[in-house]
Amino acid sequence: MPLTIIEIIKPAEQGLSTPFLCRGDDDALYFVKGRNSGRASQWAEWLAGHVGRAFGLPIPPFCLAQVPANLVRECPAELRPIGAGIAFASRQREAAQWLEPAAIGRVPVSLRRDVLVFDWWIRNLDRTRGNPNLLWAPASEELVVIDHNQAFDPDFSASDFLANHLFSADAEAVFSDLVEQARYLERIERALEVWDSACDNAPPEWRWANDEQDVPANFDPDAARAVLACCSTPYFWRRP
């Protein structure tokens, strides 16, 4: 059974897809992406989250969350866009803050490269100095990887990625090293093993844009899987 949201607290301070900070019936806090975020955002978070954790990235625990209709009706108007139904919920990481550019050097080199390669694989352009979509827990010196709502981008630009990615300075060390590439491809192939299960466990209603379920959602899981399959082609590591 999915988590049940018992309190919608406020819109998140950051995030273009406008998640809401909520409390679940387990008394933990979650950033929830509901109907206002869009189906494509929910799908991308769910699928990228599964393969990302399987790949080995420090992505916070996440789950499906039921947002009750009666809770939404009783909320102030500014909280109602979350909408009722099954949403994507990412557990809040306490004592973590937005990663500042000055802290990049404190992130282990191996982890920087992991994030870079993962984003390259899932075609995620949304990790830049101005919008890192990463958190940093200073007390424990830990990186937290969040926000994959723009993954599987059909208009992905390799040149834009390498010019703007937060960890682009580490690209040469991977893209020019055949041993590193082979090592990463092994990890990618293992991570792909969770794909079918993630798709099978996504809510059936996410395949539709409306409650009447007569307008298909603007996300195609098969097309997203085809994006990831590019890892097996000789062009995967090719730079512009």
Close Cβ partners of 173 (under 8 Å, ≥ 6 residues apart): 113, 180
Output the six-digit token pair for 114.
Answer: 């992991």
pLDDT at residue 234 is higher than 90: no
Tens of pLDDT along 149-200?
Answer: 999 999 999 999 999 999 999 999 999 999 999 999 999 999 999 999 999 9
CA pseudo-torsion sign 104, 183, 175, 221: negative
Tokens of 189: 């192939």
Residue-wise pLDDT for 118-134, tens only, equals 999 999 999 998 899 99
Task: Return the pLDDT at 72.
Answer: 97
> Is the CB of residue 157 less than 8 Å from the CB of residue 125?
yes
Q: Quick one: average pLDDT of 61-65?
A: 98
For residue 191, what are its two tokens?
């991570």
Strand partners, 181: none
- Distance in Å from the first CA to the final CA of the chain: 46
pLDDT-derived band at 240 (thresholds 50, 70, 90) equals confident
Query: Is pLDDT at 211 greater than 90 in this prediction?
Result: no
Smallest Cα–Cα separation from 173: which of 237, 125, 124? 237
pLDDT digits (tens, 9 = 90+) for 172-182: 999 999 999 99
* pTM of the complete model: 0.95
Domain ranges in the chain are: 3-94
**What is the rounded average pLDDT of the residues 219-238?**
94
Residue 9: which pLDDT band, with cuts at 50, 70 and 90? Answer: very high
Q: What percent of the chain has pLDDT over 90?
A: 88
Q: In the structure, what pLDDT confidence band is assigned to residue 2 with cuts at 50, 70 and 90? A: confident
**What's the mean pLDDT when you consider all of the chain?**
95
CA atoms within 13 A on the CB side of 65: 33
pLDDT, residue 102, reads 87
| Residue 15 clears pLDDT 60, i.e. is over it | no
- The pLDDT of residue 16: 63
Q: Does residue 4 register a pLDDT over 60?
A: yes
